[in-house]
Every structure is written in structure tokens, then in C-alpha cells.
Amino acid sequence: MSGDHHTNHPVHGTAAGDAYVALPPTAVDATASGPTRLIVAWPGFDPPRTASALAAAIPMTGVPVWRVYLDLPGRSPGGLGSGAILETETIEAYCAAVESAVERLPAALADIRRDLGLPDGSDGADGPGGADGPGGSVGLVGFSAGGAAALLAVARGIVPVSAVALVAPVVAPSRVARAVEKRSGRDRCWTDAAAALADRLDLGSLAGDLAGRDVATLLIGGAKDRVVPAREITSLRDLLRRHGTGPVESATFRMGHALAAEPGTEARPPITEAVRVDGVLTDWFRDRLARPTTPPEEGAQADGPTPTANTHPAAPQQNSNKPLDAATANTQPMVRPAKKQPATVHPVGASPDDTQRLDAPSQPAQTLDADQDADAALAASTQPPSGGDGAWSSDTQDAEPETQDAATESAAAECAYGRAR
């Protein structure tokens, strides 16, 4: 079904059988550079669970390309951190959703590009893996189960991809189930066939298929995440680097797994954790897909509010013109270009004196009236969280979410996150 196309408003439609929400490029301080004009983002089996909920959580408004949030095929009987993951029905639903999302992506892109009036990319000079056609390559974003789908799509080369960002991706479904077994005292009851499906979606096994693809990759994890511990994110980062998959960066936040409050199926104003993640995603994609434009003259008047790189529902605003400080800034962490990121980890024996505690309080989720339109939720604004920005570079010593109560922030000069430009 074709989306209802409006240049400056969200577009709702269906692509390859799955619902999507497309947010138009409205940034006025940057313009798209290179062939990528489209980012596709998948939600997960945990909040946010739908395209509309993910669009409200991480709108990436400052990125001057279309951001299309696409539902995963099917639904999970329960969250991945719950006892439901121990049932065959849940792991089969997870595997089917990830595999089907990847298989449907080419057809979904064709529908989306038709709806939005974008070039179809059919004349790429390099064939299915090329990025030189009029439609160019795409960016991919995935949260949780959607993160597994995004990396699988890159590994299979099913569409040309220039950059992929994975937020709390499920690195290994079997390890998620093992952790639930330990917490609950129950054993999983997977069939042999279900276990084999889960093993196929171990992201570590995809590293060899990603070698040489030169796709910029960002991994984001949570220091309090019990579904995908931060150590799994950093291990995946190091594995991808060893296989030469392209520039790989990572960041860890003091957060759990979810990016929205339960049930995570409707568009709601973003919670603090989503605000921070959205800020990193916005800056990272701007570094790769955009170039700044000349700012308007000081004192120039406009007919209405003028959006800027960070004037979107998930980005807190600066309160003054003072330089940002990584330890005290009330804005989201800023991302440096990938080329400045070293490809090695810092020594494990770093002194605790080289780190800073983060004491940013958790901000409760805000809600809208049930009858309020979903588009209004996408446009709703939130206040900036108080305290630190909640992020630290996972290029330093890993934090164990079950043993460390708070994450730390690297003070190294080459750190790519948690400092102002």
C-alpha cells in the first residue's frame, strides 16, 4: 500500500507486507552527501516493539535523509529477557522475524522508494552490492532483534549498505536463554530444530562474511543490560575489527535493554535512555551521510520554528553558549568521525583514577493520552535529563552490568564519545 506522501510530515505505509513510518529530511543545517538518502530501522521484541514506537524513541531528526522505521515480521509472545525465551515458540518466532526481515528488505525498499518518490537504485554499477546507482546505498539501524536483522542483511549483501548501527543487538540468542535459565532456575525446552535456528543467528559467526565489505559500524550497548551484556557488545566489536569489516566503533550507556517503557507498541515521548542513544546515532550518521550547510545570518527571522541538527523530540537543548564538558553536559554525547577512532582497545589495567562516575538519574517515561494521534507523539518534545550524559566509550575496560552499579567514562584523548566537538 502506498504511503500518504507529505513532504514535511511523517509518511505511513506498508512495504513488503510490513507497516512503516517514514520521517522526512527536515534538518536545515546539513544536507545529504554521497549516494545514501535513506536509513531503514527495525525495532525489537522488547520496547520499542513497533515501527511507530521506535520512530518516537530515536527519530534522528538532525540526519538530512529519510529515516524509515519498518516493523519486523511477526510478534514475540514475550520479551527476550523473560521466561518466554525458554519456549520453542518464542525462539522460533524470533528466528523467523529476523530471517524474514532480511529476505523482505529488497522488496520493502522498492515499495518505500516508490512511495517516497526516491530513485530505485536499480542501475548500481556494482550490482546488488554496489552503491553507485541513483538510489545508492542505504543505512541500517536495528534495536535488539532488529539489530541482528541489520547485521545479517549486511553479511548476506542483500542490499548495498554504507553504514549500520546496532543498538543492543542480540549477539547470541542461546546466551540470552542461558542467562534467563540462571536467573529463573528453569531449563529451556527448545527442540533440536529450534536450537539449530538460534545457532544460525549467532552474530559472531557472521564476522567472516563481513570481511572486506568496508561498512562503517556502530555498536551501542547498556551497562545494565541483562539481555545483551555490555561485554558481548565489546567482544563483537573486537571480532569485527579483527576480520577487517570496516571502521567499527562502540559506545556503552548506563542503561538496561529497553529504549521505551512497556508495552512499547505506541508512539510515546522518548525516555532518557532513548534521548542519549538518539544523540549518538544522529551525530554518527551525520558524520557519514551529511555535510553542514551555511547557517542563517544572525537575527534572521523565519515564519515558524526552524529545526536544527538537534531540535528534535529526542534531543535536549543546550542552555548556554558555554563549551560542553563531557562530565557535566546535559546534552547527548557527541560522536567523532570514524577515521579518528583507533582500531585497538585501551589497556585493561587502566587506573580507576582515569575514569569518572556517572550519576545521571533515570528519567521516567512520559506518556500521551491514548487518543492522541501518533504523529503528535513523534513531534512531542522532552526536557533534557539532568546530570551527566550517561555514556562512556566501550573502547576502554568492559563494565560488567551485574557487578558494577554504574558505568565509567573514558578520559583518554582519543575517545570518540562523551565529549563535545
If one compares 188 and 415, the residue with the highest pLDDT of the two is 188
**179: part of which helix (H) or strand (E)?**
helix 173-184
Q: Which residue has the higher pLDDT, 321 or 236?
A: 236
Q: Which of 53, 112, 41, 99 is nearest to 73 (CA)?
A: 99
Each residue of 11-42: pLDDT tens digit? 999 999 999 999 999 898 999 998 999 999 99
* pLDDT of the residue at 7: 66
Is the confidence at residue 130, as pLDDT, over 60? no
Q: Check residues 281 and 357 and name the one with the higher pLDDT.
A: 281
| Long-range contacts, 175-184 (Cβ 8 Å, 24+) | 175/232, 176/80, 176/81, 176/85, 176/227, 176/228, 177/85, 177/86, 177/91, 179/226, 179/227, 179/229, 180/81, 180/82, 180/83, 180/85, 180/86, 181/86, 183/226, 184/83, 184/86
**From the centroid of its chain, how far is CA 58?**
8
Return the higher-pLDDT residue of 250 and 355.
Answer: 250
What confidence tens digit (pLDDT) does each residue in 340-377 have?
333 333 333 333 333 333 333 333 333 333 334 444 44
pTM: 0.71
Check whether 339 has a pLDDT greater than 90.
Answer: no
Quote the cell numbers at residue 249: 566503533
Digit-coded pLDDT (tens) for 46-60: 999 999 999 999 999
Domains of the chain plus CATH, in order, are: 11-410 (3.40.50.1820)
Q: Would the pLDDT of 315 be above 80?
A: no
pLDDT for 313 beyond 80: no
pLDDT in tens, 174-231: 999 999 999 999 999 999 999 999 999 999 999 999 998 999 999 999 999 999 999 9
For residue 410, the surrounding DSSP H or E stretch is strand 408-410
* Rama region for 237: left / alpha / beta (φ>0; ψ in -120 to 50; rest): alpha
Mean pLDDT for the chain overall: 75
What is the rounded CA–CA span in Å between residue 322 and residue 325?
9
Q: List beta partners, residue 165.
A: 141, 218
**Residues in contact with 49: Cβ distance below 8 Å, sequence separation at least 6, in sequence order:** 43, 75, 76, 263, 264, 265
Orientation of helix 88-116 relative to helix 192-200, angle to 10°: 40
Residue 297 pLDDT level (bands cut at 50, 70, 90): low
In the three-class reduction of DSSP (H, G, I as helix; E, B as strand; rest coil), residue 342 is classed as: coil
Candidates 26, 27, 24; CA nearest to 309 is 27
Residues 6+ apart with CB under 8 A from 64: 25, 26, 27, 30, 31, 32, 286, 289, 290
Give the cell for residue 81: 529477557
Of the candidates 105, 96, 116, the one whose C-alpha atom is nearest the C-alpha of residue 42 is: 105
Residue 68 in grid coordinates = 524509515
The candidate with the shortest Cα–Cα distance to 344, out of 412, 421, 419, is: 412
| Cis status, amide bond into 352, omega within 30 of 0 | no
Given a cut of 50, whether residue 307 has pLDDT beyond it is: no
- Long-range residue pairs from 381-384, CB within 8 A, at least 24 positions apart, any chain: 381/269, 381/313, 382/269, 382/270, 382/275, 382/313, 382/314, 382/316, 383/316, 384/275, 384/316, 384/317, 384/330, 384/331
Task: Name the residue with cell 533440536.
Answer: 192
**Is a pLDDT exceeding 50 seen at residue 326?**
no
Helices (H), 211-314: 230-242, 272-289
The pLDDT, as a whole number, for residue 81 is 86
Q: For 311-334, what is the mean pLDDT?
A: 34
Residue 307, judged by CB atoms within 10 A of its CB (0-12, 13-18, 19+), counts as middle
- How many whole angstroms separate alpha carbon 202 and alpha carbon 23? 31
pLDDT for residue 60: 98
Q: Are strands 138-143 and 161-167 parallel, antiparallel or unpaired?
A: parallel
Residue 288: what pLDDT?
A: 95
